[in-house]
Structure 1
Amino acid sequence: MPLEERQPLSAPRAYQGRRSILTKWVSATTGQVVLCTSTVQMTAAMLLDFDANIVCFRSGVVQVHWELKGKHGTVEPAFVARTRDGRRVVFAHPPRDKSGVEERVLRQAGDEAGWEIRPLQVPQGVLQSSLESAAHFNCPEFAPDDHVRRVLLEVFNLPQPLQVGALASGLGLKATGYAWHLVWTGELTGDWTKPLLPTSPVWASQAADIGET
């Protein structure tokens, strides 16, 4: 069953004393709303959405119930995703128990279901702020058509500041937003170890097709 396409089993709910903040991430990849139980999970969703190898992901769509020596519990992965080559990947929250039972249960379920189990990755610091800057331009209104895309990739065939190259493209006031969108899609890239600003050098990535369309 393609769990990454299912609706959540239930919506997260707020309750008195809850420390985390309920939020959501709207996936630019699929347009789906991904419910998150915390801002940490939302930031991890942003990183998954940025990953070009991930074509679909959802949260809250599966629970694994276990029982062992009179004890029982439930493990709910952070996300279930599908990769471009069709693999199913389950991203696991950090284990809540020190015994390792939850991790073993999830890996056993993954072995039986054909899931690849990975720890949840949460961007922090410079990477987080840079992704957030690019994510402001991830929506379809900033997506360039084929001609605009080709012009921008040619302009940035050599590294130059994002804003400078956008203005030099001759594409008008929307060029900067288009350039940011190409950063989000990975067709333009830069030094992700440094803050991503309008003055940051970016260039066409190896994944970008600059040829005629």
Structure 2
Amino acid sequence: MTVEELAVDHGDLALGGFELDFYHDGVRRRRPLGAGWNIRFEQAPPVRPFDWSKGGTSFAGWYYSVTNADHVGYESWLERDRLILLDADPEVRGIASQPFWLHWHDGVRRRRHAPDYFVRLADGRGRVIDVRADDQIDDAAAQAFEASQRACRSVGWEFARVGVPDPVLMANMRWLARYRRRRCGDRRDVADELLRVFGQPTPLRAGACSVGDPLLVLPVLFHLLWMGVLAADIGTQLLGSDSLVHAAKVAGR
């Protein structure tokens, strides 16, 4: 079945009206959306380089993702923060930054847009994410996000435009991200004892000290919080010695 026939069959011209421009097996390719949507974009390299120039307006960098077991690029602190949240999400199985150019014609001229992230979820769904603060969305960006949403809807991907996360939650997640690597949880004996101690809500530092030397115990505790095996109110209060920690009902990955 051709792309045009597929578009008619599904009643959505977006399948043929949009094109994807991406790298696959080291080769640059360009295909209609209806013919390229099933590429594993969570493994795709970026389609354009990041701006590393000194004195520039962006803040590009590489974030080590434990989900990917590899580095993922970002172009702003806001994108970096979103990467942290995605990396901690147990539903996320793969993350790629700027995985493709989306091409379309808006009726006046040809347009293109590279979304910030493509995410693969545990149930196999794809999610396209653009990161932009509410007060930084101009007409061109709004049109690009609207087009991206339509393209995603036509192939069953989710689309999300996300802005600035809650500052308290983000401060806590930046701290916990320091302990995201699996080596922080290598002490299985310490982890088991922490799960026993925090079987009931217990202040963070008191519970850690009851297990052993805080210098050895706290990294394991913070890793378990990152993983979702332990839980605390990280959405409304900054983590501290008196934060109540308890074993989570459902463990993260």
Shared fold (TM-score greater than 0.5)? yes
Match of 2:243 among 176, 200, 203: 200
Match of 1:76 in 2: 114
Match of 1:19 in 2: 57
> Percent of aligned pairs with the same residue?
26
Contact 2:78 2:131 in 1 (8 A): no
Q: Secondary structure at the match of 1:11?
A: coil
Match of 2:196 in 1: 154
| Residue 44 (structure 1) shift | 0.9
Contact 2:190 2:211 in 1 (8 A): no
| Residue 121 (structure 1) shift | 4.8
Give the 5 Å matches for 1:95-106. Answer: 95-97=137-139, 100-106=142-148
Matched, 1:61 2:104: no
- Taking structure 2 as the reference length, the TM-score comes to 0.75
| Residue 120 (structure 1) shift | 2.0
Greater percentage in helix: 2
Match of 1:207, as an amino acid? Answer: V
Mark the runs of 5 or more structure 2 residues left unpaired by the alignment: 1-38
Match of 1:48 in 2: 86
Number of residues paired by the alignment?
209
Aligned-CA RMSD value? 2.3
Paired with 1:114 and 1:87, the residues of 2 have a C-alpha distance of: 8
| Residue 170 (structure 1) shift | 4.1
| Residue 73 (structure 1) shift | 2.1
Paired with 2:100 and 2:165, the residues of 1 have a C-alpha distance of: 24
Paired with 1:187 and 1:121, the residues of 2 have a C-alpha distance of: 27
Contact 1:41 1:122 in 2 (8 A): no
Contact 2:227 2:251 in 1 (8 A): no
Query: Is the alpha carbon distance of 1:61 and 1:161 closer, same or farther for their aligned partners in structure 2, counting shifts above 3 Å?
Result: same
Give the 5 Å matches for 1:58-207. Answer: 58-94=96-132, 95-97=137-139, 100-170=142-212, 173-192=215-234, 193-207=236-250
- Taking structure 1 as the reference length, the TM-score comes to 0.88
| Residue 85 (structure 1) shift | 1.4
